[in-house]
Chains A and B, each alone.
Chain A
Amino acid sequence: MREPLIQFKNVYKRFGENHVLNGTDLSIYKGEITTIIGKSGGGKSVLLKHIIGLLEQDSGTILFEGRSVSDMNKAEKKALKRKCSYMFQGTALFDSLTIYENIALPLKETTSLSDSEINRRVREKMEQLDLHEIDEKYPSQLSGGMKKRVALARALITDPEIVLFDEPTTGLDPIRKKAVHRMISDYQQKFGFTGVVISHDIPDIFNISQRVAMLNDGRVLFEGSQDELAMASDPAIKEFIQGMEIRHEKIDCIPSLAEKGKLTGEQAFALPGQTGFSIILLHLDNLNEITLSQGPGASKAILNSFVTKAHDCIRGTDSCFFYGQDGILILLPGLARDSAEIMCDRLISMINIGDILEKAPISNFCLFASASFAEAGSGNRPEEIIADSEFKQSKKYKLSFCK
């Protein structure tokens, strides 16, 4: 059996009354990228800070190569720290130093390399990360995405054995996101470092990681490979993964629809082998009233909640997408239009509007929804199917909510 490089054993950590880690058990193996997923504010960054020694556990043990870090002497802890590198969520670049100085800092302060060698390494990293002509700029003069890449360059400049990435791609555009993922993967293959990545980029991040751990309420709910994660039966894991996938599909679905004339409905909606399908286009007609009275955050929360509830009510083979500012597109493979209408009635009756509006500070509100339907045969294009449903007479629903 393989020996983990870093192992958390029943680790507890609390800040005041806030219990962040509640008996965390986690194993990180040498030469692998382990991705930690979980809800925001769930203690993922705290876990990472324990690895590098920025925080110390209240109880429990953290082992490095089988040895307790707490039992190590100062020199051993220092040696462990030198093996690690940390990329902060908020980049933590030094505002008063230039970009060049920021990247060169770890080499200047902790090594005896010559200035020319430091310069060569910094230039090389900047080149690899597409950071051109910004040497003399300061972090405040850069965009969020560029700051992330500078932070990444600084984290990798010392060629560390263990790299801890705290949300390395948050705030980056999809192209840069993929580039950063590719770079982490390439570097990992080239230098063989052990990586621990906190990320919400599901499922993209799984492409570069060998192991996945899910942290929930301070405990590791799941630990294993991506395939094992897909097979997991725990409802909390499913909910999290599905919740993430809904958001992800929202991004992928719309551009594929825009590729007019190139894809058929089955291809666009990834339904190989299906002979036909129906769609339900559900609009929350007066959601803008919530936007005007409570702000866009409240209406977005209601729409998110509605999609999550709808996702729970549909069949395993069905899919649910966001559509526009107030719409939901439900895809029902192998179902005729009439059956789609019945399905929609059932879905509306199953959704408890009280749960959805619970978080919005409103009372005596009626949410109106209208649904339109379309049936697609083999070869129909997605935009045709959606246009077909939009032009057809819609079915109106009234979802009253009083409190």
Chain B
Amino acid sequence: MLRLSTLISPLTALGRGTTFIVQEMGRIAMFFLRSFALIFYRPFQINKTMQQIYFVGAKSVFVICLTGAFTGMVLGLQGYYTLVKFGSTGFLGAAVALTLIRELGPVLTAIMVTGRAGSAMAAEVGIMRISEEIDALETMDINPIRFLVSPKLAAALISMPLLTALFDVVGILGGYLTGSVLLGISPGVYFMRIETSVIMDDVTGGFVKSVVFAAVIVTICCFQGYFTHTRADGFGAKGVSISTTSAVVISCVLILITDYVLTSFLL
């Protein structure tokens, strides 16, 4: 009997773990679908959405510009010293622009937004949960998901492509700064290569990614905060801190996984 149970217990644990993950994925998917559908529930929450656009979008502009500029600059440097070995420094503009537009722009923007706005969303919703504010909304017959999550989701879906575009543009200018101004590549060649190599599909692909990442960030961060009270590993303030950490870690990991999946479909 003992031997049998020893053999079975790892399988049981594996089964439980798998079931939990599948259930959790289902719950997250349902949470996203409800939040998304409730964006279109009348009356539209225009004021709340605008406030969230200001919080997620406008307030992220500085940090996006900063990261975009340095990412572009470092790409310019690295790209130049790699291309110079092959005597093709003229392709620097294309290399910087394609890397940014296809990959780094959407991914780094999403990671910066997760750190800046996603963590705040998880903490805000988590605190509202533990202080019974979400219960209070339910007793007032106000749908908490519509009231709290839908405006954030709508705002992220609008803001993220714009922030990604900003990141790309600033990054390209950063590449120009190192490639042309510091290392002497002709500005005309730099921008001409961008114009000839970047096609609309690259831009569309980058934007598709940014929209998907927006959905991932808001869904994961709000989900973690919303179900803070059901955590077995922490209650109260500790529960909120664990939820916030989980929200950021899961979002970042999912951004990278989703990025790979999307890239494989888009290429």
Bound CA span A54–B229, Å: 14
Range of interface residues on B (Cβ < 8 Å): 10 to 19
**Chain B residues with Cβ under 8 A from A49's Cβ?**
135
Q: Are A106 and B131 closer than 8 Å at their CB atoms?
A: no
SS of B interface (majority): helix
A86 within 8 A of B: yes
* Contact partner, B135, options A85, A92, A158, Cβ 8 Å: A92
| B142 nearest CB neighbor, chain A only | A109
Q: Encode A52-80 as 1/0 by CB contact (under 8 A) with B.
A: 11100000000000000000000000100
* Contact partner, B139, options A52, A78, A90, Cβ 8 Å: A52
SS of A interface (majority): mixed
Number of interface residues of A (CB under 8 A): 22
Q: Are A54 and B135 closer than 8 Å at their CB atoms?
A: yes
A88 within 8 A of B: yes
Q: Are A106 and B135 closer than 8 Å at their CB atoms?
A: no
* Contact partner, A90, options B131, B141, B142, B147, Cβ 8 Å: B131
**Chain B residues with Cβ under 8 A from A110's Cβ?**
140-142
With contact pairs A81-B141, A82-B141, A85-B139 given, residues A109 and B147 touching in the complex (Cβ less than 8 Å): yes
B133 within 8 A of A: yes
A84 within 8 A of B: yes
| A54 nearest CB neighbor, chain B only | B135
Bound CA span A94–B27, Å: 26
* Contact partner, B132, options A81, A88, A109, Cβ 8 Å: A88
Q: Encode B139-173 as 1/0 by CB contact (under 8 A) with A.
A: 11110000100000000000000000000000000
**Chain A residues with Cβ under 8 A from B24's Cβ?**
none
A94-145 at interface with B (beta carbon < 8 Å) = 94-96, 105-106, 109-110
Q: How far is the CB of A90 from chain B (nearest CB, A)?
A: 6
With contact pairs A90-B132, A92-B131, A92-B133 given, residues A54 and B141 touching in the complex (Cβ less than 8 Å): no
B195 within 8 A of A: no
**Chain B residues with Cβ under 8 A from A96's Cβ?**
124
Bound CA span A78–B136, Å: 15
Interface centre among B128, B131, B136, B147 (most CB of A within 10 A): B136
Q: Are A92 and B141 closer than 8 Å at their CB atoms?
A: no
Q: Are A84 and B139 closer than 8 Å at their CB atoms?
A: yes
**Chain A residues with Cβ under 8 A from B131's Cβ?**
90, 92, 95
Q: Are A106 and B142 closer than 8 Å at their CB atoms?
A: yes
Bound CA span A106–B142, Å: 8
**Chain B residues with Cβ under 8 A from A105's Cβ?**
140, 142
B138 within 8 A of A: yes
Q: Encode B116-139 as 1/0 by CB contact (under 8 A) with A.
A: 000000001001100111011011
Given A52-B139, A94-B133, A109-B147, list of 6 further CB < 8 A pairs? A54-B138, A78-B141, A85-B139, A92-B131, A92-B133, A106-B142
A residues apposed to B, CB below 8 Å: 49, 52-54, 78, 81-82, 84-86, 88, 90, 92-96, 105-106, 109-110, 158
| 8 A-B pairs whose Cβ atoms sit less than 8 Å apart in the complex | A54-B139, A88-B135, A92-B131, A92-B136, A95-B131, A95-B133, A110-B141, A110-B142
6 tightest Cβ-Cβ pairs between the two chains A and B: A92-B136, A92-B132, A86-B139, A106-B140, A109-B142, A81-B141
